[in-house]
Amino acid sequence: MNELQFAPEMLARIRARGGEFHERGYLFVLAGIEFLQSRLPSRRHVSGGELVWCCRDFAIQQYGPMARTVLEHWGIRSTEDVGRIVFTLVEVGLLVTQSGDREEDFVGCFEFAEAFAESHVWQAEPGR
């Protein structure tokens, strides 16, 4: 994911819509959607709750115990922030919604402090 970036005109469109997050935050959510789709038997629409939990798992897989810190560096501090990113990406035409999808679907899915606490399983053997 590190080599990905938006074309300058797309990033300008995101910023014009009030894009308050670091570019990497938007790219992370797009990558999180692909991560989620790769775990499903077939591609389908996903709910806000499904997406935020999968973004949590993806962040932990990518960044280990630094996952929460990395997301917060990009401005993502809550599940609501993931929703704001998703709906900004919808507004610029990179994602689509289905009827009934709402930004409120992302509100309060979990608390970051709890969801990322003790999320990393250390791989080192005891005594090393």
For the segment 21-62, what is each residue's pLDDT rounded down to a tens digit?
999 999 999 999 999 999 999 999 999 999 999 999 999 999
Whether 121 maps to a domain, the answer reads no
Whether 127 maps to a domain, the answer reads no
Task: Work out how many domains the chain is built from and give that number.
Answer: 1
Q: What is the pTM of this model?
A: 0.87
Whether 75 maps to a domain, the answer reads yes
| Burial of residue 49 (number of CB atoms within 10 Å: 0-12, 13-18, 19+) | middle
pLDDT value at position 120?
52
* 113 pLDDT more than 70: yes
Whether 4 maps to a domain, the answer reads no
Mean pLDDT of 4-12: 87
Whether 57 maps to a domain, the answer reads yes
**Do the Cβ atoms of 28 and 72 come closer than 8 Å?**
no
Domain extent at residue 98: 23-114
Whether 12 maps to a domain, the answer reads no
Whether 40 maps to a domain, the answer reads yes
Whether 5 maps to a domain, the answer reads no
How many Å apart are CA 18 and CA 11, to the nearest integer? 11
Alpha-helical segments (H) within the chain: 8-16, 23-39, 48-63, 67-73, 79-91, 112-115
